[in-house]
């Protein structure tokens, strides 16, 4: 079960964290930033467990913005030596707020997303069947840096990732 939990958490978190390029403000600038997500992003993530060695993942995300940037669908696949994730995220962006749902196709799990767009990225709360986590995303041209800190008492402490498009 811990392997399934780790794969689900990494995948759901990265699925949402990869959306970190959002941060140009609200309104038209935010919609432009959402539209710029279109296409394929790739990178690496590291999971820091409560005990034991870190786990490295490689990920590929494909984005499909719609409705002028007010909706975003993401397909995400992540793999490590021991686990994999194949997920979909559906997000709505309005007035500087982010809401949505994620689904893990392999483990048949899902959860919700709530967050706020900021000028340099966003802050978000990830919720699922087995966890709550706070995520901070920083953006720069062509890349996104992500840090996720999980609630205490879980087998995972933190996840960090770097995804690139260019």
State the Cα–Cα distance between residues 56 and 60, nearest whole angstrom: 14
The number of residues making up the chain comes to: 166
φ, ψ of residue 80 in degrees (nearest 5): -125, -175
Nearest to 120 by CA among 30, 21, 23: 23
DSSP classification of residue 120 = T
What is the chain's pLDDT, residue by residue, as a tens digit (166 residues)? 455 555 555 555 555 544 444 433 445 666 777 777 788 889 999 989 899 999 999 988 888 989 998 998 888 888 898 888 788 888 898 988 999 998 888 877 789 999 987 777 778 888 888 778 887 877 777 888 878 888 888 888 888 889 999 8
d(CA 143, CA 52): 29
Calpha distance 70→98 (Å, rounded): 9
* Per-residue model confidence (pLDDT) at position 100: 95
User: C-alpha distances in angstroms, 90 versus 9, 149, 163?
Assistant: 17, 22, 19
> CB–CB of 62/75 below 8 Å?
yes
> Which domains are delineated in the chain?
2-164 (2.40.128.20)
> Under 8 Å CB-to-CB from 147, ≥6 apart: which residues?
135, 136, 158, 159, 160
């Amino acid at each position: 079960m811990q392997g399934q939990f780790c794969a689900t958490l990494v995948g759901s978190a990265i699925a949402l964290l990869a959306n970190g390029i959002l941060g140009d403000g609200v309104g038209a600038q935010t919609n432009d930033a959402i539209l710029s997500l279109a296409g394929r992003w790739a990178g690496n993530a590291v999971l820091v467990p409560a005990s034991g060695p870190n786990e490295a993942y490689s990920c590929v995300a494909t984005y499909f913005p719609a409705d002028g940037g007010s909706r975003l669908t993401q397909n995400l696949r992540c793999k490590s030596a021991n686990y994999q994730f194949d997920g979909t995220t559906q997000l709505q962006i309005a007035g500087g707020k982010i809401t949505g749902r994620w689904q893990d196709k392999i483990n048949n799990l899902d959860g919700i997303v709530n967050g706020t767009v900021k000028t340099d990225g966003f802050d978000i709360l990830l919720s699922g069947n087995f966890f709550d986590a706070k995520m901070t995303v920083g953006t720069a041209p062509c890349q996104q840096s992500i840090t996720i800190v999980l609630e205490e008492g879980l087998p995972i402490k933190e996840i960090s990732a770097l995804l690139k498009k260019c």
